[in-house]
Structure 1
Amino acid sequence: MELESVGAALIRPGQVLIDRSAMSAAARWTQAVSEADGVCVVHLAPGADPCEVTAELRDRGLRASPNHVLRGQPLFFGGPASRPFPAEPVPFKHRRSRSGVVIGLLDTGVAKHPWWSGSEWYARLAPEQADAAEGAQAGHGTFLAGLLARGAPGAALCVERVLDGDGLTDEATVVRALHRMRERPPHVLNLSFGCHTFDDRPPPLLTDAIRALDDTVTVACAGNTASDRPFWPAALPYVVGVAAVDATLRRRAPYSGHGTWVDACAPGDWLTSSYLDTTGFSGYATWSGTSFATALVAGVIADGAADEPVRDVAARLLESEEAEQIPDLGVLVRGNL
């Protein structure tokens, strides 16, 4: 994927995202436009700067954003682990869906695994939603699927592959996937990826796409940035942003994003889950990162949604006077593993 760095944010060179209302205003910078699933990608004429074009369009009150690059968030930059490690099998029997709860998982896809062999949701999975076979984050989606399945036994997963094997995607791809979810929105949506933006403001088209899922609780990772700089979409006020705590359950994991914009935290170090059956692995791995803390929180919310409305579950989890709060990390959620 071609990308460039702008103010510690990554963007696709020469691309701006707009909605149809901004088409005429963007025409003078436009070389070509691709439109699909609710978003227009403007391919700029040579010499046009995506950030400058975005700023001018926004000054006119229009919805625009550079096409930011988003990354999956296992741990890459120091700490207890920078990659998955082989693990011994963990016993778990997947229950058939009786709760009716659906968890949306946008990630690298999901591979075949004993934990969901025979499950209805996996039987419906299209071949193109299989997990990436190669790359630094191949198996990321399968690992998350295992945490979600154990956290909310009986829930069904709705999987869409948006990340490549290196854990990379762009804002346009995610917005389009979210747009397609509107017809059958999940109860809970797990987004274990994100980005900084070029101006540290929320990306408007991604914001609109998440807000359009009115009845869905979206849970997103705070990022492995070790900083309080807002990480999107976790920093959106109607998204449950999740940081990671270390094994003490009292301190921030050294890699985790943090700040007043974080809503919850969960263990993120040395979690064991399903993985690819590949060289050096036999279907199980141990991995660390805010990606995986996010799945623990999403699993708790989805599990509770079998008995009450999902938004009530999330509100009770985050707003209870009895909840244990950690400064700049939000409410501590221990998970259902």
Structure 2
Amino acid sequence: MFDQQARLERVLARHPDAMVVEPVPGCPALVRRDEILVAGRDAGDAEAAVRRWCDSRHDERAVTRLRLRAAAKVDVCEVASRLAGDGGPGGNARRRRLSVSPNHLVHGQPMWWSGPADLPRPAAPVAAPRAAAARRDVTVAILDTGLAPHPWYEDAEWYREQRDEVQEVLDADLDFDLDAQAGHGTFVAGVVLRHAPTARLLARRVIGSDGVGDELDVIRALEWLAGRPRADVVNISLGCHTYDDRPSPVMARALAALGRRTVVVACAGNTAGDRPFWPAAAKPVVGVAALDGGDRAWFSNHGWWVDACAPGVDVTSTFVRFNGTRPAVDGTDPDDFRGYATWSGTSFAAPVVAGRIAGLAAAEGIGADEAADRVLDPETNPSVPGLGVVVGS
């Protein structure tokens, strides 16, 4: 466990446009300063409501980002709440609710600033999973840090098609050490492939090598997926707490645009509590907690909103190649990575579930939604209160 306040200070130093908000005492969240996200059709009304503070408007396909003037010192949480509640600051005769949200920061989940931390450790090589006969092709989208070349998949057509655009960044701060969550996406990819070795992976980089991104990046990726041939399963091993502990309506629209036949799986978070963690807590999303043996991993979130649980402690998977500056201890180099690592977190429980769903869909030639119903059926699989259906390794 690392010093959480020190990690928060590093996050804020690296992201100077971020700030901690805490409208509800004891329930902090991180947001981009002076930014509001609006679902496409509500952009005009939202801009009109904040016109006196608005500095700029940036329209994308299904989301608009409104930047407010820093000098106005506007509380973006209060503004978002009032826009969502009564049509705008000061009230509105139309009283129409708008789909708006602050731009929350999201974090990969072996590490989060208010939760426990874990660093990857070098591991011995693991044999690539053997592809069994598949009755149909299955695509799993991984929204994460990207993918590094790896023997398990570097010769696959799906990887060659996207290799350059999704390349992992290993040392963004140029300190000659591996960044805190560099390799996160590559690790997740290996977990998926262990359970669905014939899957075609479709990567999108939405968080940096420090493990931090924002809601807008995730929404952009979801919009990208909605506008191309459909992914069967989407794995999101990251998330956040929101300022009001409710789902972001802008994120909710982006998830809904994927359609019911796409199964979205997300990690439940590592804050060891029952506070909803998004998007895992969203109704259309399969939220996954971590197990340590047969029990809840001590760091794992839990609660009524968690749908499933899977092994998340000392998971071994694919990783990057990198040798950092830390000295060897008793003949073992703690940061000499040669393509494999062991890591813990709900980040690595989620792709177990995503992989099991994708693997069953491929083997049986069924839709991902039907496969998810079978993998998560509480009538045929054991369940744990607060952790959902147990999905084994």
The question of a shared fold, defined as TM-score above 0.5 by the shorter chain, is answered with yes
TM-score by length of 2: 0.81
Determine the structure 2 residue equivalent to 1:324: 382
Q: CA RMSD in A?
A: 1.7
Conserved? CA contact 1:26–1:57, under 8 Å: no
Conservation of the 8 A alpha-carbon contact between 2:289 and 2:349: yes
Aligned to 2:209: 165
Q: Which has the higher mean CA deviation after the structures are superposed, 215-224 or 125-134?
A: 125-134
2:79 is aligned with 1:34: no
Please state how far the C-alpha of 1:36 moved relative to its aligned partner: 1.9
CA distance in 2, matches of 1:159, 1:237: 24
Please list, as runs of the form range in 1=range in 2, the aligned pairs for 1:215-294 lying within 5 A after superposition. 215-247=261-293, 249=294, 251-279=295-323, 280-294=336-350
CA distance in 1, matches of 2:281, 2:133: 32
Larger Rg, first or second structure (1 or 2): 2
**Preserved contact between residue 192 and residue 221 of structure 1 (Cα < 8 Å):** yes
From 76, 96, 104, the equivalent of 1:50 is 76
How many angstroms apart in 2 are the aligned matches of 1:163 and 1:324? Answer: 34
Structure 1 residues 78 and 320, CA gap change in structure 2 (3 angstroms): closer
Paired with 1:32 and 1:170, the residues of 2 have a C-alpha distance of 19
Query: Relative to structure 1, is the Cα distance of residues 11 and 136 closer, same or farther in structure 2, using a 3 angstrom cutoff?
Result: same
Q: Deviations over 1:80-123 (max 9, x none)?
A: x7100000000115649953100000100000000003111111
C-alpha deviations, 1:32-88, integer Å up to 9, x for none?
A: 112223211111122211011101211220010000000000146787x71000000
Residue 90 of structure 1: SS of its match in structure 2?
A: coil
Corresponding position of 1:25 = 49
Structure 2 Cα separation of the partners of residues 30 and 152 of structure 1: 47
2:341 corresponds to 1:305: no
Q: Give the deviation of 1:25 after TM superposition.
A: 2.6
- Large movers: runs of 4+ above 4 Å: 75-79, 93-98
- Counterpart residue identity of residue 101, structure 2: S
Counterparts in 2 of 1:97 and 1:113: CA distance versus 1, 3 Å: farther
Matched-pair contact (CA < 8 Å) for 2:115–2:270: no
- Paired with 1:187 and 1:65, the residues of 2 have a C-alpha distance of 28
Unaligned segments of structure 1, at least 5 residues: none
Residues 1:175 and 2:219 are matched in the alignment: yes
Identity %: 46
Number of aligned residue pairs:
332
C-alpha distance in structure 2 between counterparts of 1:147 and 1:173, whole Å:
23
Q: Distance in 2 between matches of 1:93 and 1:316?
A: 23
Residue 129 of structure 1 corresponds to: 166
Residues 1:97 and 1:13: Cα distance change in structure 2 (over 3 Å): farther
